Chain A
Amino acid sequence: MRYLPLTDEDRRAMLAKIGVPSVESLYRDVPAGALLKDPVDLPRHAGELEVERAIGAMAAKNLGTGSVPSFLGAGAYRHHVPASVDHLIQRGEFLTSYTPYQPEVTQGTLQYLFEFQTQVALLTGMDVANASMYDGATATVEAVMMANRVTRRKKAVISGSLHPHYRQVIETYGEHTGFAVDAAPYDPEAREDILKKIDKDTSCVVIQNPSFFGHLIDFAALSEAAHAVGALVIAVCTEAISYGLVRAPGNTGCDVAVAEGQSIGNSLGFGGPYVGLFACKEKFLRQMPGRLAGQTVDVDGKRGWVLTLSTREQHIRREKATSNICTNSGLCALAFTIHLTLLGEAGLQRLAELNHATASNLADRLAKIPGVKLLNETFFNEFTLALPKPAIPVVEAMARRRVLGGVPVARLVAGKPELENLLLVAATETVTEADMAALETALKESLAEVK
């Protein structure tokens, strides 16, 4: 029992000091019959070696993206994370600290959160950002609920550009917490006209850029139309590296920018934990969800940081809070901020350009395959291919050839025959020339194999 310091002798002496005969007697308030006398039916304790072996055996049954050519995106992207990121986030003072409620002994966490908030505000072109949310999808639904509070309206308009999981999360919250969701059909060719859905009951328009299908979207007209009826524009981004190259939401008239921050600093990890980014115009500050680090001074007049504006939060306001969340994504935010600090302006821009260039060249290559059609005129590092066959079996066939060749749209959107043949293909800086050749071959062979 390597994690438990108490010996049986300790336990005896401590029970004597407390004045009770046994540990069980400390459970006397548990109703008779509910206190288990014996261990439950699960394996007994195991040493470090045994546990490592058991989990290692499960890991070995998976095909990791690091071991084969991989072109998976759809809201989660494989990027190279510098070694120093993982080293630094594992410092025990970061890893094993709690929410910085005692600022005198958590200045480290508070300062990096302040820096994180600044970086997120800069990337998105917004005035302020919070100290992170659970992930991109939950950040998006929190933005919708904020817009509902700000406008005192109850209808969110959802663009067909939005990630299906994000849409499903908004629909779930809407259905059960009492706001309407008017969602446009999925828009694989960036042709939608969402302006006609916006009216005086609309609290917000939620649009994604680059879109779920990869297209780059100009918000200017949309922002104008939304603002004309007093609705907010929420700009979603699921590939944070794109901020290095693509015009920021704050520069195109958006009111709230939310994003999945996984791409910067965080591994794929089968979908989580990730880090939600949330930024907005200053006028919405007091309606924002989530924690905020703010600058102040101590009694000696030295600059320092504290958690602030907590009168918005559940531990003070209870049922009147702006959000029910308590935990955020501190350590993932730390990984994000360290990676972005390592990159800096020059590194991020060049990395973003490399992603775009790699994807652009890959698109040229794949579009030449007979029967395959590239649906995008614009994209950042991910695009949609219309295949001559259903994408799910094609991807399975490519996986058998040890190529993770993209994400079928139908995996995320069920029951839409018109989306069945669509394949999302992403290419980041991790993709090599050899990987591209492998994908090309695998796709050709798989298309021939699938009926």
Chain B
Amino acid sequence: MADRPSGTVAAAASSGPGTISGNRGLMLEEPLIFEQGMAGRTAVDVPEVPKHQDRLGGLKRQNPIGLPGLSEPQVVRHYTRLSQKNYAIDMGVYPLGSCTMKHNPRLNEKAVRMPGLADLHPMQPVSTVQGALELIDTLAHWLKVLTGMPAVALSPAAGAHGELCGILAIRAAQVAKGDARKRILVPESAHGTNPATAAAAGYEVDPVPADARGRVDVAAFKAKLGPDVAGTMITNPNTCGLFENDIQELAAAIHSVGGYFYCDGANFNAIVGRVRPGDLGVDAMHINLHKTFSTPHGGGGPGAGPVVFSDALAPYAPVPYVVHGKGGFDLVEHDETGKAFGRLKGFHGQMGMFVRALAYMMSHGADGLRHVSGDAVLNANYLLAGLKDELTPAFEGTCMHEALFNDSFLDGTGVTTLDFAKAMIDEGYHPMTMYFPLVVHGALLMEPTETESRDALDRYIESVKGLAKRAKAGDKAYFEGCPYHTPRRRLDETLAARSPHLRWKPEEAKKAAE
């Protein structure tokens, strides 16, 4: 640690003597593709275009597009260099709370690329895709058994899309009864997608405070109930990493006024194989396949957000869905009951994610999935136990799959949660989630998942404790300068927002040449 700069934020101190090229060993500078392309060059050899009748009707493009031309080696090098500027779960601990960064098995990648899956067109005759429908049906079966819910809609593209699916089913069910309603109760600790989804579906969002234990305030919840309440959206385990122990009481309360219970299943990974949401009074819940069932996050997607439904809501689920027909599996693409609330997406859903998720489920099995949730919870509590003396836990007692701290351990140090996170980057870790959930001041939310070994957790704990000690020792300037050892240091987000520069423009090349 002796060679670490401290006391100044000076750039020179951090980067050492400059190099001629601007590269720093393995840290390679890489221009934009637009800065290295040549007109006329291509990395794809397209066969000769045969003689044909032009049928463009005079609508042929008249201006050049402006795309750069590169060869294959240039392209491979470009993206390889870019990849090396990313942190990833393949590289190390990625304790980003609420995002569930777990190992992405490569078997799943192999499975999704199999001929007969990767090259299936969504509109082939169903007689030619019986295996694909069987796979979807198998996935649906696993999800239904694991959640204890009788039905599932598979088409939602991600968590927030699943939320919309659930809320629209609630709406459709109430409208069908001639009982359209206005309000949705959403705890203040909820992920931002919950209020955004309820608002998108035209509902008034009524926030419910958290109590001192980090759970939904039951009395406040009940006080808000009324005949105009359509339902509630509750995350369980919640975003504080705690199980809502009054969950059945909340479910009964919402049902007593004719409302429905939407459960945000973002944290299903903490309970999979051990608790079935269907036993808790849930009417609808989305499952982020990219969290609980390990489909890769891919730098921000794609995800998949199937929604499981209770019997009460099942008839209102959107098209399409798979059924068992006379000659095998069939796909219902047009609602004939008049009840389905509609369609949310083109085609049939995120098939590639279904394949990966099923491979993950089959690999673990009913027995292994209990270890997935158990180890995730064990690892989080191990972090909590290892860090509770140096950091300040937000709530007393044990946690579920993520450990939540507030920033009071930094009081008087001048170091912010953000500074602390940036210092973790230099230690070789992706930071935890910061400033979320909003109900905890300066929140630091750590989710190790079942992927981490005890050794990895021990090293992580030592690093975080060391940083906390360093902050308390008054090394504020060090933290303000972090990170020092990354391809780029702290970036000016204010500038980016004040003068949005969202694309490269040809003028920039001319300017650079002058």
A163 to B363, CA, bound (A): 38
| B279 interface hit (Cβ, 8 Å) | yes
| B1 interface hit (Cβ, 8 Å) | no
B342 touches A172 (CB 8 A): yes
| A-contact bits for B292-319, CB 8 A (1 contact / 0 none) | 0000111111111000000000000010
Most buried by A among B82, B115, B193, B300: B300
B121 touches A345 (CB 8 A): no
| B468 interface hit (Cβ, 8 Å) | no
- Identity of the chain B residue whose Cβ is nearest the Cβ of A410 in the assembled complex: B334
Known contacts A137-B346, A138-B346; 4 further A-B pairs (Cβ under 8 A) = A18-B398, A26-B378, A62-B130, A358-B52
A-B pairs with the 8 shortest C-beta distances? A172-B342, A331-B298, A271-B347, A61-B131, A92-B90, A271-B122, A59-B116, A344-B69
**Chain A residues with CB under 8 A of B91:** 92-93
| B132 interface hit (Cβ, 8 Å) | yes
- Identity of the chain B residue whose Cβ is nearest the Cβ of A296 in the assembled complex: B496
- The 8 Å CB contact of A330, one of B298, B364, B454, is B298
| A399 interface hit (Cβ, 8 Å) | yes
**Chain B residues with CB under 8 A of A131:** 300
B123 touches A326 (CB 8 A): no
- Identity of the chain B residue whose Cβ is nearest the Cβ of A128 in the assembled complex: B502
Q: Which of A383-418 contact B (CB under 8 A)?
A: 395-396, 399, 404, 407, 411-412, 414-415
Most buried by A among B32, B46, B60, B158: B46
B454 touches A247 (CB 8 A): no
Q: Measured between C-beta atoms, what is the minimum distance from B369 to chain A in Å?
A: 8
Q: Which of A243-283 contact B (CB under 8 A)?
A: 243-248, 251, 260, 267-275
**Chain A residues with CB under 8 A of B370:** 39
- Identity of the chain A residue whose Cβ is nearest the Cβ of B105 in the assembled complex: A3
Given the contacts A52-B107, A90-B109, A344-B43, A273 and B157 also touching, CB distance less than 8 Å: yes
Q: Measured between C-beta atoms, what is the minimum distance from B274 to chain A in Å?
A: 6
**Chain B residues with CB under 8 A of A19:** 385
- The 8 Å CB contact of B503, one of A15, A99, A128, A334, is A128
**Chain B residues with CB under 8 A of A5:** 451-454, 456
Q: Which of A299-333 contact B (CB under 8 A)?
A: 299-300, 302, 304-306, 308-309, 311, 313-321, 323-332
**Chain B residues with CB under 8 A of A102:** 87, 421, 425, 430-431
Q: Measured between C-beta atoms, what is the minimum distance from A428 to chain B in Å?
A: 12
A356 touches B334 (CB 8 A): no
| A194 interface hit (Cβ, 8 Å) | no
| B253 interface hit (Cβ, 8 Å) | no
B134 touches A61 (CB 8 A): yes
A260 touches B425 (CB 8 A): no
A270 touches B348 (CB 8 A): yes
- From B159-167, B217-225, B407-415, give the one contacting chain A: B159-167
A193 to B300, CA, bound (A): 41
A48 to B54, CA, bound (A): 51
**Chain B residues with CB under 8 A of A171:** 342
Interface size class of B (residues with CB under 8 A): 35 or more
A177 to B497, CA, bound (A): 30
Q: Which of B402-435 contact A (CB under 8 A)?
A: 421-422, 425, 430-431
**Chain A residues with CB under 8 A of B374:** 23
| B476 interface hit (Cβ, 8 Å) | no
B87 touches A378 (CB 8 A): no
**Chain A residues with CB under 8 A of B9:** 299
- The 8 Å CB contact of A357, one of B50, B157, B381, B490, is B50
A292 to B192, CA, bound (A): 18
Given the contacts A84-B76, A271-B122, A378 and B164 also touching, CB distance less than 8 Å: no
B343 touches A247 (CB 8 A): no
- From A104-112, A195-203, A227-235, A437-445, give the one contacting chain B: A104-112
A67 touches B341 (CB 8 A): no
- The 8 Å CB contact of A327, one of B15, B300, B318, B450, is B300
A324 touches B145 (CB 8 A): no
| A-contact bits for B56-99, CB 8 A (1 contact / 0 none) | 11111111111111101001101110111111111100101001
Given the contacts A34-B279, A404-B121, A353 and B299 also touching, CB distance less than 8 Å: no
**Chain B residues with CB under 8 A of A331:** 296, 298-299, 301-302
A358 to B50, CA, bound (A): 8
- Identity of the chain B residue whose Cβ is nearest the Cβ of A111 in the assembled complex: B82
| B4 interface hit (Cβ, 8 Å) | no
**Chain B residues with CB under 8 A of A30:** 243, 245, 271, 274-275
A342 touches B487 (CB 8 A): no
B64 touches A345 (CB 8 A): yes
- The 8 Å CB contact of A45, one of B115, B142, B195, B364, is B364
Most buried by A among B9, B40, B345, B493: B345
Q: Measured between C-beta atoms, what is the minimum distance from B333 to chain A in Å?
A: 7
B299 touches A100 (CB 8 A): yes
- Identity of the chain B residue whose Cβ is nearest the Cβ of A343 in the assembled complex: B44
B345 touches A134 (CB 8 A): yes
B488 touches A327 (CB 8 A): no
A334 to B487, CA, bound (A): 20
A294 to B494, CA, bound (A): 11
| A284 interface hit (Cβ, 8 Å) | no
B124 touches A273 (CB 8 A): no
**Chain A residues with CB under 8 A of B318:** 172
**Chain A residues with CB under 8 A of B431:** 102
| A338 interface hit (Cβ, 8 Å) | yes
A344 touches B145 (CB 8 A): no
A104 touches B489 (CB 8 A): yes
| B-contact bits for A175-194, CB 8 A (1 contact / 0 none) | 11110000000000000000
**Chain B residues with CB under 8 A of A117:** 502-503
B491 touches A40 (CB 8 A): no
- The 8 Å CB contact of B86, one of A15, A51, A93, is A93
| A-contact bits for B479-496, CB 8 A (1 contact / 0 none) | 001010011111111011
A76 touches B123 (CB 8 A): yes
| B-contact bits for A121-141, CB 8 A (1 contact / 0 none) | 111010111011011111000
| A72 interface hit (Cβ, 8 Å) | yes
B382 touches A17 (CB 8 A): yes
Q: Measured between C-beta atoms, what is the minimum distance from A236 to chain B in Å?
A: 11
**Chain B residues with CB under 8 A of A379:** 55
| B120 interface hit (Cβ, 8 Å) | yes
A46 touches B365 (CB 8 A): yes
A46 touches B362 (CB 8 A): yes
A311 to B496, CA, bound (A): 12
A334 to B299, CA, bound (A): 9
A319 touches B32 (CB 8 A): no
| B510 interface hit (Cβ, 8 Å) | no
Q: Measured between C-beta atoms, what is the minimum distance from B431 to chain A in Å?
A: 6
A311 to B90, CA, bound (A): 31
| B135 interface hit (Cβ, 8 Å) | yes
**Chain A residues with CB under 8 A of B75:** 84, 338, 341-342
Q: Measured between C-beta atoms, what is the minimum distance from A373 to chain B in Å?
A: 15
**Chain B residues with CB under 8 A of A326:** 158-160, 191-193
B297 touches A345 (CB 8 A): no
